[in-house]
Amino acid sequence: MTGLRIFRAGGKAALAACLAGALWTALAAPVLAATEEQLRAAFAAADVNADGVVDVDEYVAYFADAFRRRDADGDGFLVPADFPNPDMARFGEADRDGDGRISLGEAVAERMLVFFDLASDDGVIRLDELLAYEAAR
Ligand SMILES: [Ca+2]
Ligand SMILES: [Ca+2]
């Protein structure tokens, strides 16, 4: 996703990529370098209650929403055709049961590993953490 790079257990850098809202649009496409402005905008969009951190509920909701937007026919699964430039290696990693499609559960499960990696200290993601990891990658 441009952002569901999401589907790579790439830890914090991957989260930074997937939090860049626009990047959450192409599950397996090459990840675009997110600008700080894009990251700030994505973070603000994910931080629904505007308390300055993205907690696990906001994270899941944001990602589930991105999934639904990508799921053009609304059947609850993403297939390669849902992406403009699918990276089949990454798609295959996300498709844990190998049925050729990515369910919401498969997509969220993959993302949760990243969330808890980035939010390991306090259970929430802060903007400075996101920016620092993005800058380091
Ligand atoms: Ca929040
Ligand atoms: Ca699957």
pLDDT at 137: 63
pLDDT at 93: 84
C-alpha 91/C-alpha 73 separation (Å) is 18
Count CB atoms within 10 A of the CB of residue 108: 16
Ligand nearest to the CA of 46: 1
CA of 97 to the centre of ligand 1 (A): 32
What are the sequence ranges of the domains in the chain?
Answer: 4-136
Report DSSP letters for 82-113, one per residue. GSSS--HHHHHHH-TT-SSSEEHHHHHHHHHH
Q: Domain 4-136 belongs to what topology?
A: Recoverin; domain 1 (1.10.238)
pLDDT at 56: 92
pLDDT at 98: 95
| Block mean pLDDT (10 aa), the chain, length 137 | 40 45 34 70 91 93 86 90 83 90 87 78 86 71
CA of 125 to the centre of ligand 1 (A): 9
Predicted TM-score (pTM) of the model is 0.67
pLDDT at 99: 96
